[in-house]
């Protein structure tokens, strides 16, 4: 065999081995976290180990559509996870525990199922006392009907309420606001000389005093990112997935025998005063934290901080009151 | 217009006569091809960021249909890596002359397959799955690998490049459209070939291999089956092979009479129109049907696709030429006159591809820097944003291509009709209607 | 010679068909609002027709994953998440037919998620058909003259 034949064979074999071997080697050394729509598997892997005090470096990519990444109950800006691109992120944990990471950009009806956990091991310097949540300490039944028997004719006005409130014996504290539904407050005002609509205006004022503009802005943002796809951008329960949920509910009714009250439902209409004015902030907190248990309403407890939930609650009431 | 013999230029002649320039291109192409298979299999499943999709269906396709085929005919086949591993295996050598006794079965392809019907079928198979193939990296990877292995397998069973000649889904239409190209490989003097002993261009010699495309260069009258592999330039002992620059569409003056080629013309014309409607049109329901392979809608799409290509288009054509007064059998008139559809089909594909390629060309930059979607940034272009190019030039360019194609086809129709002595008017009207339809789909 | 003259005539006729200014029908510009639902892999409605000079307001509602809209020729775009509809406002000051397409990778068929915006009559299509007819006529006539 002559030299040129040998050299060309060598070049061909080396070239092929390199073109296969080098990318394969680099590929095997790049552990990626893959994001897919929940129907196609969600996060992979969905359990990540980490240690307190050691920065956790993650490389995340999306295999289909736009997703986002954030860790629940942590002070962090969510990052976008784009199809075919790699997002680098570094996380630091100072407390051990099990954290939930979740998708932050809507990616279909089952978007909220796209969750995973980060198991952080290590010891914590200052163990935080577990604070009891309001809806738990009030012992509220989250699934009991809570409709307000009486509703106002129009949207109650906080501005009018403020003028009326000055000489009324009314508790403006956060504790009182959080543990009472608008209807309960309305009812407690029945001893006064005010007309019904005036009483509703006072209720609106009470709600307004417990709502800052910052919390409304935060609440609005959280609502748009997490709730509006089902509950509708205007709170009317007519989000883009509302019909899909109803359809999914109908089909699940046939499979979930004996659990008729726990099947998928249409999303709640926050502009419905009967429903909203009969619910206390604590009740709403509980519903958001726990989720709808099979109704299609996700469980947000592992994701939102307590403050974020109060912001969200404050925003949801703004569908009822004229601030 | 006269022909210009390019091989008279010493630089071109030496570059073609030597094996090394072509071998260097071959090695690069083969590495790229194998890398594309790998990228399809292990890279990101997102097509627009995967080397296999972007470099095969955007970059390669653009070069093939906008440059290689119209200007160089089978120029792509001259550098295509698919037959190489099989051919090297078949010869037992990369450069050295082959052994006297064949290493493998070396059978002749059975007569019934020695036409382009298998290529018509393999193209249609890919065409029917094209929405998935075009967008799913691992499917593209599997198809590329399958073609490579099919080529290797066929090389061990049959003689020469059986895959290229009879099975390659792309080779079929490249061959058809290469007749329009201004490049040809021909002999210089017929008499030299008649008296040539041993015909080394076909049988091989110490200087090179016998025609891999199973063509005797001395008999070449059209580009269709000449793969421009340049072996005959190396083997001809009489320096009788030339590569010529010639007027466009020179081969079409002598219309073909083969039904497989006639139907290839309809298949290509029809698929260009169907793709323009499905992929570039605003009708989501058609896209769903084409993409969701295996569903009822997809079977409807397949039925419609085949009906348009095999019944509607050739049927209307037949009806059109039915009343041309002539003694020749209808079949022959059909085959000859369908030659007129070749330039039109090519320009349909050019117009369709312009839109697709200009819109998505910016993905090439991204995929170049991060071919597997692993977060690399090899050339600093990984974060180039998607941006359609030249959108304001697109519509005029498409009109130019389509109307140009129509003129070209009408002229071809006149020549073909002259050959079979009928009126070209029905064919021209047919081309005009098809062009209007395509204009409506694209504009 | 006669062939050359008629060729010249046809080329000139072609230029007239392609570029001759057409009378622009005087229609008072209006404001037009479209609510477009974007889902894998289509827009509905997918064909918009407006008059030249109209102010076009597109409210983009994504109903499965994040989608966007990019208008060819106008080079403007907007993105919308499900639950967060987005508004794209522009003045349709360029006549003709334009594709609009999704600019946020939204799954396999994303590159083919396409709609069509027609501003005024689609004159370029009619001009192109005119050119095609002229071309056919030209080829036929030149043949007759040569014979």
| CATH code assigned at B204 | 3.30.70
Cβ <8 Å between B410 and C132 = no
Contact A237, A268 (CB under 8 A): yes
| CATH code assigned to A33-121 | 2.60.40.420
- With respect to residue B6, please indicate whether it lies within any of the assigned structural domains: no
Of B194, B220, B251, which closes a domain? B251
**Boundaries of every domain in chain A:** 33-121, 134-317
| CATH code assigned at C15 | 2.60.40.420
- Cis peptide bond upstream of B4, omega within 30: no
| Residue in B401, B439, B415, B424 with CA at minimum distance from that of residue B317 | B424
Return the DSSP state at A127.
P
Interface list for chain C against chain A, based on CB atoms closer than 8 Å: 61-66, 81-85, 104-107
- With respect to residue B286, please indicate whether it lies within any of the assigned structural domains: yes
Residues B33 and B157 occupy one common structural domain: yes
Q: How many domains does chain C have?
A: 1
| Residue in A11, A248, B287 with CA at minimum distance from that of residue C43 | B287
Cα distance between residue C3 and residue C8, in whole Å: 9
- B387 phi, psi to nearest 5 deg: -150, 115
- In A40-121, beta strands by DSSP E: 43-44, 47-51, 56-62, 67-71, 79-81, 86-91, 97-102, 115-121
Cα distance between residue C105 and residue B317, in whole Å: 41
Which residues, at least 6 apart from B313, have a Cβ–Cβ distance to it below 8 Å?
B266, B269, B270
The range of the structural domain enclosing residue B352 comes to 252-442
How would you class B126 by CB atoms within 10 Å of its CB: exposed for 0-12, middle for 13-18, buried for 19 or more?
middle
Residues B324 and B268 occupy one common structural domain: yes
Give contacts of B373 with chain A, Cβ < 8 Å.
61, 84-86
Cβ <8 Å between A240 and C81 = no
Contact B330, B322 (CB under 8 A): yes
Residues B103 and B242 occupy one common structural domain: no
Residues B378 and B266 occupy one common structural domain: yes
- With respect to residue B14, please indicate whether it lies within any of the assigned structural domains: no
Which tens digits make up the pLDDT trace of B335-369? 999 999 999 999 999 999 999 899 999 999 999 99
Per-residue b or e along B377-405, where b marks 16 or more CB atoms closer than 10 Å to that residue's CB:
eeeeebebebebeebeebbeebbbbbbbb
pTM for the whole structure: 0.92
Which tens digits make up the pLDDT trace of A81-112? 999 999 999 999 988 999 999 999 999 888 98
Cα distance between residue A272 and residue A147, in whole Å: 10
| Residue in A310, A317, A318 with CA at minimum distance from that of residue A286 | A310
Give contacts of C46 with chain B, Cβ < 8 Å.
282-284
Mutation test of the interface with chain A: which of B39, B43, B44, choosing the one with the most A Cβ atoms within 10 A? Answer: B44
Residues B44 and B102 occupy one common structural domain: yes
Give contacts of C101 with chain B, Cβ < 8 Å.
359, 388
Residues B261 and B160 occupy one common structural domain: no
Q: How many domains does chain B have?
A: 3
Residues B221 and B367 occupy one common structural domain: no
- With respect to residue B2, please indicate whether it lies within any of the assigned structural domains: no
Give contacts of C136 with chain B, Cβ < 8 Å.
406, 410, 428-429, 431-432
Cβ <8 Å between B44 and A1 = no
The predicted complex's ipTM stands at: 0.92
Contact B417, B339 (CB under 8 A): no
pLDDT in tens, chain A (323 residues): 688 889 999 999 999 999 899 999 999 998 999 999 999 999 999 999 999 989 999 999 999 999 999 999 887 889 999 999 999 999 999 889 999 999 999 998 889 889 999 999 988 766 565 667 888 888 888 888 888 888 898 899 888 888 887 777 778 888 889 999 999 999 888 888 888 888 999 999 999 999 999 999 999 999 999 999 999 999 999 999 988 887 776 655 444 444 444 455 788 999 999 999 999 999 999 999 988 767 788 899 889 998 999 999 999 999 999 88
Residues B344 and B409 occupy one common structural domain: yes
Residues B363 and B430 occupy one common structural domain: yes
The range of the structural domain enclosing residue C34 comes to 2-146
Residues B305 and B434 occupy one common structural domain: yes
| Residue in A43, A319, A103, A317 with CA at minimum distance from that of residue A225 | A103
């Amino acid at each position: 065999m002559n030299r040129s034949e040998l050299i060309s064979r060598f070049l061909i074999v080396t070239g092929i081995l390199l073109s296969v071997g080098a990318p394969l080697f680099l590929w095997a050394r790049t552990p990626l976290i893959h994001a897919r729509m929940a129907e196609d598997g969600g996060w992979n892997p969905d359990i990540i180990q980490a240690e307190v005090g050691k920065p956790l470096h993650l490389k995340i990519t999306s295999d289909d559509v736009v997703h986002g990444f954030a860790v629940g109950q942590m002070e962090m800006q969510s990052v976008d996870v784009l199809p075919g691109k790699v997002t680098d992120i570094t996380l630091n944990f100072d407390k051990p525990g099990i954290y939930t990471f979740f998708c932050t950009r809507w990616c279909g009806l089952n978007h909220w199922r796209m969750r995973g956990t980060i198991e952080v091991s290590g010891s914590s310097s200052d163990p935080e006392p577990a604070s009891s949540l309001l809806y738990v300490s009030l012992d509220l039944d989250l699934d009991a009907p809570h409709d307000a028997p009486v509703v106002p004719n129009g949207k109650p006005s906080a501005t009018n309420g403020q003028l009326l409130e000055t000489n009324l014996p009314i508790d403006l504290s956060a504790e009182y606001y959080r543990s009472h539904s608008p209807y309960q407050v309305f009812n407690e005002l029945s001893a006064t000389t005010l007309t019904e609509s005036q009483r509703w205006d006072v209720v609106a004022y009470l709600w307004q005093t417990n709502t800052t503009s910052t919390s409304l802005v935060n609440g609005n943002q959280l609502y748009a990112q997490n709730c509006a796809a089902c509950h509708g951008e205007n709170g009317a329960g007519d989000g883009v997935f509302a019909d899909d949920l109803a359809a999914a509910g109908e089909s699940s009714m046939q499979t979930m025998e004996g659990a008729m009250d726990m099947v998928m439902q249409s999303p709640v209409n926050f502009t419905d005063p009967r429903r909203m004015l009969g619910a206390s902030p604590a009740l709403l907190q509980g519903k958001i934290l726990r989720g709808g248990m099979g109704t299609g309403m996700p469980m947000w407890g592992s994701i939102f901080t307590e403050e974020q939930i109060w912001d969200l609650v404050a925003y949801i009431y703004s569908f009822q009151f004229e601030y | 217009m006269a022909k210009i013999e390019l091989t008279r230029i010493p630089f071109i002649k030496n570059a073609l006569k030597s094996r090394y320039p072509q071998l260097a291109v071959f090695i690069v192409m083969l590495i790229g091809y194998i890398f594309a298979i790998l990228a399809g299999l292990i890279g990101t499943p997102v097509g627009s960021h995967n080397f296999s999709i972007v470099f095969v269906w955007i970059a390669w396709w653009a070069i093939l249909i906008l440059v290689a085929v119209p200007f160089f005919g089978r120029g792509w086949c001259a550098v295509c890596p698919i037959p190489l591993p099989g051919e090297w295996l078949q010869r037992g050598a990369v450069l050295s002359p082959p052994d006297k006794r064949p290493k493998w079965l070396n059978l002749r392809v059975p007569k019934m397959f020695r036409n382009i019907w298998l290529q018509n079928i393999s193209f249609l198979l890919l065409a029917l799955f094209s929405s998935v193939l075009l967008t799913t990296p691992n499917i593209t990877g599997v198809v590329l690998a399958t073609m490579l292995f099919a080529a290797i397998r066929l090389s061990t069973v049959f003689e020469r490049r059986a895959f290229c000649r009879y099975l390659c889904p792309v080779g079929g239409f490249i061959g058809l459209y290469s007749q329009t190209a201004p490049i040809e490989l021909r002999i210089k003097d017929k008499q030299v070939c008649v008296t040539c002993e041993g015909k080394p261009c076909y049988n091989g010699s110490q200087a090179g291999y016998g025609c891999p495309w199973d063509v005797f260069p001395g008999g070449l009258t059209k580009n269709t089956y000449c793969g421009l592999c340049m072996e005959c330039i190396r083997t001809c002992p009489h320096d009788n092979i030339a590569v010529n620059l010639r007027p466009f569409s020179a081969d079409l003056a002598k219309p073909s009479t083969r039904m497989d080629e006639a139907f290839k013309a309809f298949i290509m014309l029809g698929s260009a129109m169907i793709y323009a409607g499905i992929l570039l049109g605003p009708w989501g329901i058609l896209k769903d049907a084409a993409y969701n392979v295996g569903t009822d809608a997809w079977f409807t799409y397949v039925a419609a696709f085949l009906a348009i290509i095999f019944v509607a288009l050739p049927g209307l054509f037949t009806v059109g030429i039915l009343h041309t007064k002539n003694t020749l059998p209808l079949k022959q008139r059909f085959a000859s006159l369908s030659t007129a559809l070749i330039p039109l089909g090519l320009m349909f594909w050019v117009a369709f591809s312009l839109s697709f390629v200009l819109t998505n060309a910016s993905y090439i930059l991204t995929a170049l820097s991060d071919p597997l979607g692993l977060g690399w940034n090899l050339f600093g272009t990984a974060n180039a944003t998607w941006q359609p190019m030249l959108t304001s030039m697109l519509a005029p360019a498409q009109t130019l291509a389509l109307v140009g194609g129509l003129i070209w086809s009408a002229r071809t129709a006149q020549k073909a009709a002259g050959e079979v002595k009928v009126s070209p008017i029905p064919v021209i009207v047919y081309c005009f209607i098809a062009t209007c339809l395509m204009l409506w789909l694209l504009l | 010679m006669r062939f050359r003259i008629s060729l010249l005539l046809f080329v000139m006729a072609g230029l007239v068909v392609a570029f001759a200014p057409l009378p622009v029908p005087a229609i008072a510009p209006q404001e037009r609002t479209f609510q477009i639902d974007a889902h894998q892999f289509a827009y509905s409605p997918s064909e918009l027709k407006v008059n030249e000079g109209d102010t076009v307001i597109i409210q983009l509602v994504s109903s499965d994953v994040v989608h966007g809209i990019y208008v060819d020729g106008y080079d403007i775009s907007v993105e919308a998440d499900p639950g967060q509809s987005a508004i794209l406002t522009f003045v349709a000051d360029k006549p003709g037919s334009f594709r609009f397409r999704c600019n946020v990778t939204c799954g396999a068929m994303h590159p083919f998620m396409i709609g069509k915006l027609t501003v005024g009559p689609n004159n370029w299509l009619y001009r192109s058909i005119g050119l095609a007819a002229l071309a056919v006529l030209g080829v036929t006539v030149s043949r007759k003259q040569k014979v």
